[in-house]
Structure 1
Amino acid sequence: MLPKYVFKYWFEHGGTCIWSMNDYARNKFGYAIDNEKLPISKALVDELYALEAEYHGYLDWDYPPSPSPWTLNEKNDFKNRANELYLKLKLELGSDFEIINEIDRCVE
């Protein structure tokens, strides 16, 4: 039996939201994963890119150490949509992939 590709689903400021977490995944996809390299639908790729772009607004770019300009409702809405996308990603990737959901840690 082949090992699983293990990913972390986590948003980075100005970056991707899918990261390789084991050598098997890194050897095939690299560390920071380009969504278009994944065996998923174009619609899901587009949804991932849209949420990545939206996350850019979570940080106060004028003074990054300050609290996020997002309200609690905006944070919760983003988390809910990100978790829905996680479930879609998990479904489309299938059983050869394990995805660790870290959404709660990147939106506090």
Structure 2
Amino acid sequence: MTRSLRFFFEAGVDTPLWPQDTRSEYGYPVELCRLPISPATRTELARLSDWYQSSIDWSYPPNPSPWPEGERERFKEQAQAALAALRRELGAEWTVRDESLL
């Protein structure tokens, strides 16, 4: 059986992983501690989620991002590296779809 996750960052959420089924044993959104991944990958995904929150102007979220030029690209590169590590660690029994709009 292949398990499936969606990968994207969301305002106010501390994980970039979402199961297909809202009744997932891993939580909705996914609780990183429930996944069979290394502590380093867990920490990196949480760090990226925190960092993503700083891309939002919380005084008025529809405003443009307060990130300086280049930060979006740095974030995107690190997010893609974390996604690659996640896929390696989860292995062939998992599909992780990249739905990030970065």
Q: Does the TM-score normalized on the shorter chain lie above 0.5?
A: yes
Q: Deviations over 1:11-64 (max 9, x none)?
A: 11121200002x4x8432132001111000111111111111111101000111
Q: Tell me what 2:87 maps to.
A: 90
Which amino acid letter does the alignment assign opposite residue 18 of structure 2? W
Equivalences for residues 20-35 of structure 1 within 5 A: 20-21=19-20, 23=21, 26-35=23-32
Identity of aligned residues (%): 36
Q: State the AA in 2 paired with 1:8.
A: R
Check 1:26–1:7 CA distance in 2 against 1; reply closer, same or farther (3 A cut).
farther
- Alignment match, 1:71: 68
Q: Which residue of 2 aligns with 1:7?
A: 5
User: Which of structure 1's runs of 4+ aligned residues deviate more than 6 A?
Assistant: none
- Give the counterpart letter for 1:17 in structure 2: P
Unaligned runs of 5+ in 1: none
> Would you say 1:19 and 2:31 are equivalent positions?
no
Count of residues in correspondence between the two structures: 101
Please list every run of 5 or more consecutive structure 2 residues that lacks an aligned counterpart in the other structure.
Answer: none
RMSD: 1.4
TM-score by length of 2: 0.91
Verify: 1:49 aligned to 2:57, yes or no: no
**20, 30, 33: which one pairs with 1:36?**
33
